[in-house]
Amino acid sequence: MNFDYSEEQQLLADSVRRLLQKDYDFEARKKIVASTDGFSPKVWATFAEMGLTALPLSPDYGGFGGGAVDLMGVMEAFGEALVVEPLVPTLLGALLVAKGGSAELKQAILPAVAEGKMKLAFAHTEPGSRYSLSAIRTQANGTKLDGEKSAVLGAPMADKLVVSAQGGGLFLIDRSDATPKAFRTLDGMVAADLAIQSSKAIPLEGGIELMEEVIDFATALACAEAAGAMKFACDTTLEYLKTRKQFGVPIGTFQALQHRIVDLYIAYEQARSMACLACSKMDLSENPADRARAVSAAKIKVADGARQVSQEAVQLHGGMGMSEELKISHTFRRLTVLAQQYGDADHHLERFASL
């Protein structure tokens, strides 16, 4: 399988990387995380101008008809820079509308998403549900919804929410129909627990099968983002080993540490290869089981690699590796969260075995 990007994909990834290097360095990111909104509206508008919010949407609604592979380079750049803007939550909600909404609803929602004027989030997880798509207690009766959702990424800044209900139902509601309890996650993202009471929910078609497909898409993107974060962890740790001196020589000359940094790069390359496979299967496979196997296999490898790389990188930096002042400590947190997001290694091992 060819894992090289096309010229257009590489140009987009390079453009995003240049933007982030220029305007989204570690100090700029810290200010964004510390802000009231928890994200930068200016950066979000720039992402929209670059077409990121429109990339996977149909040209009928102002999109580009792209897929997971088109977004992979973007997500790798996001992982390196530790971007906190809610691109994946918005695309997750938009794809659910695109695949399950009526023609009128899609026309009302998707062009606004493509232009960056509307943000969405997918409210699915509930207390005690873990990663199950069927363990949902939110009740739906016609256009009425009543339930609770937990740890919904991007919910505080979303304009509308896609909500799952008991029996596999999906509904679109205004954010005003959910009472949020906002908080910051371990890695600086903005999320919220939601108390939902809506009498004007708009039903979507698709059910659990649609949720599985779109969550697999988001999982493949999370694998790509983790690969980008792992690359930064490897590169910055290697640079540290070359400059930190002990006994009058760089510690990178010690053979034991050379072996450890090589192991980290091997873990990164394996994780990136599996992320490539998952994104390719999302775009090319017409067999849901084949797609699900590839995504679960990738998430298993990426979760294991994220744990290894993040922990080893911090340890090789010594005690200061956990300090707020070093980006590697924030990369450690992001990789820890990405290893759990959309299912941890144990969940995907069980899913892979069942397939």
What are the tens digits of pLDDT across the range 101-130?
999 999 999 999 999 999 999 999 999 888
- DSSP letter string, 229-245: HHHHHHHHHHHHHHH-E
Answer yes or no: do 249 and 160 share one domain. no
Q: Same domain, yes or no, for 256 and 346?
A: yes
User: In 149-254, where does DSSP find H-type helix?
Assistant: 207-243
Task: Of 171, 166, 175, 213, give the one whose Cα is nearest residue 195.
Answer: 175
Question: Which of 186, 261, 221, 229 is CA-nearest to residue 327?
Answer: 229
Specify the pLDDT at position 1: 53
Q: What confidence category does residue 167 fall into, taking pLDDT thresholds of 50, 70 and 90?
A: confident
Q: What is the pLDDT of residue 2?
A: 60
Q: Between 245 and 153, name the one with better pLDDT.
A: 153
Residues 218 and 293 in one domain: yes
Question: CATH number of the domain that 259 lies in?
Answer: 1.20.140.10
Q: Which among 81, 113, 145 is the end of a domain?
A: 113
Is the domain of 327 the same as that of 230?
A: yes
Residue 331: Cβ-neighbour burial (10 angstroms; 0-12, 13-18, 19+): buried
| Residues 217 and 338 both lie in one domain | yes
Does 166 score more than 80 pLDDT? yes
How many domains does the chain divide into? 3
Confirm whether 1 is domain-assigned.
Answer: no
* CATH number of residue 100's parent domain: 1.10.540.10
Q: Which residues pair with 191 in a beta bridge?
A: 153, 183
Q: Are residues 126 and 45 in the same domain?
A: no
More confident residue, 143 or 82: 82
CA gap 287, 307 in Å, rounded: 31
**Each residue of 37-62: pLDDT tens digit?**
999 999 999 999 999 999 999 999 99
pLDDT digits (tens, 9 = 90+) for 310-352: 999 999 998 888 888 999 999 999 999 999 999 999 999 999 9
How many beta carbons lie within 10 A of that of residue 350, not counting itself?
13
Q: Residue 178 is part of a domain; what is its CATH number?
A: 2.40.110.10
Say if residue 354 is exposed, middle or buried (CB neighbours under 10 Å; 0-12, 13-18, 19+): exposed
Rounded to two decimals, the pTM is 0.95
Burial class (CB in 10 A: 0-12, 13-18, 19+), 58: middle
Quick one: pLDDT at residue 253? Answer: 79
Range of the domain at 220: 208-354
